[in-house]
Structure 1
Amino acid sequence: MNPEVDWFFSKDTKWQEEYNKLRKIILDTGLVEELKWGCPCYSYNGKNIVLIHGFKDYCALLFFKGVLLGDPEGLLIQQTPNVQGPRQMRFTSLKEINQQAAVIKSYVYEAIEVEKAGLEIKLKKPAEFEMAEEFKEQLEKVKGLKKAFESLTPGRQRAYLLHFSTPKLSKTRMARVEKSIPQILEGKGLDD
């Protein structure tokens, strides 16, 4: 147990008992406990394996390379269609976690083996994502925008492309593009 992470498990939340049980199960696998993104994160040789986090209706384990796991029990969930590698295992009660403790541990061990084997997730390239017409037009119109966009990391490019293509209305897509142009020209990502 890492004392820097204790605050997460001692805070009064809807999922406190569930968090503590998940922590015990994961620590039994020998992973290193750290605090990342405000959540308990468990790693093997410095590589993130699984993270505990909670939401309004459930708490979850997030397996960073979940897409590479066998998932024989059908427990892993892709949070949204745009999430490429991570998968969640969701829980709504302590009883559920207690009943599935051995299964949870087996998934964690498999995730460790995936990391030991050096398996990598093949991410879609930014060019494979849909590009909103409104953004295509601005790439041609605004001087330096295309070069600035192409200079961004693939992850930042993907974030912008998803952000621009999600709204149904052209007006909303255009507003998002226009608002983001200065940031792109500064070489910044959507959340920088």
Structure 2
Amino acid sequence: MHCAPQVRFKLRFMNHTNTQVDEYLHNLREWQDELKHLRRILLTCPLTEEFKWRSPCYTSEKKNIVILGGFKDSCVLSFFKGSLLKDPEGILTKPGENTREGRVIRFTSVCEIAELEPTLRAYIDEAIEAEKAGLTVGLKEDRELKYPEELLAELDESPELKIAFESLTPGRQRAYLMFFNAAKQSKTKTARIEKYRERILDGKGINDCTCGLSQKMPQCDGSHNSLK
């Protein structure tokens, strides 16, 4: 199988390689050629190559932009804030049902990567510019898609609770939404909302420490158990 002719780019960047990434790619049993090809593209973009979470990760001004990974059925180029990208080619997908920000592009051959190289470069440039502009994923989408009706009713009835919930960080909001939605019955969702009402009003996340004894703030690490 022959790949489509590659578009030649004037290389404005040729970043230093990371020795940990060198070793990672050398030891791969699957998708080695594909990931090396993706790496070549990324090294000619205004990105810094790092090794995070046991994977090649590429950053801009210390902000995570994309990460590479290999799985049984494919290898992926994953955008940390891919939901912000316009995706005119329709090639971005969610890595998981509850994924809010991340989006991936899956590959099974070097040819696929070569054919998409101009598009990949455009997406990478857009992701870098979005990070530089400080863009974040809006909460409107989460409200429309993931807020349970029981919570919406509570927020409508209690302006105080609504303000407190919307003042939480996106991560804390998402954790609550996932926990509330995990309940199958409406009465269980309502009970969960009531149980955590005061915690939300106090500005605390579902996993935040409330006793002040945690050694790993803001999350609770169980330090309080030592007093029992």
Q: Flag whether TM exceeds 0.5 (same fold).
A: yes
Shift of 1:37: 1.5
User: Any idea what the Cα deviations from partners look like across 1:16-71, whole Å, max 9, x if unmatched?
Assistant: 11111110011111310011111111111111111111222111111122122121
Q: Is 1:59 paired with 2:72? A: no
The structure number with the bigger radius of gyration is 2
The one-letter amino acid paired with 1:63 is F
**Residue among 87, 100, 125 paired with 1:84:** 100
Which SS does the other structure have where 1:33 is aligned? strand
Instruction: Check the 8 A contact 1:18/1:97 in 2, yes or no.
Output: yes
Partner of 1:28: 44
Q: Give the 5 Å matches for 1:1-192.
A: 1-116=17-132, 118-124=133-139, 128=143, 129-130=146-147, 155-156=171-172, 158-159=174-175, 161-163=177-179, 165-166=181-182, 168=184, 184=207, 186=209
Instruction: Check the 8 A contact 1:132/1:164 in 2, yes or no.
Output: no
* TM norm structure 1: 0.69
Cα distance, 1:87–1:119 mapped onto 2, change above 3 Å:
same
Q: Runs ≥4 in structure 1, deviation > 6 angstroms? A: none
Which SS does the other structure have where 1:77 is aligned? coil
List gaps (5 residues or longer) in structure 1.
Answer: 134-149, 174-182
Root mean square deviation of aligned Cα: 3.9
Shift of 1:164: 5.7
The one-letter amino acid paired with 1:56 is K
The one-letter amino acid paired with 1:55 is F
List gaps (5 residues or longer) in structure 2.
Answer: 1-16, 151-164, 190-205, 211-217, 223-228
Distance 2:106 2:98 in 1: 18
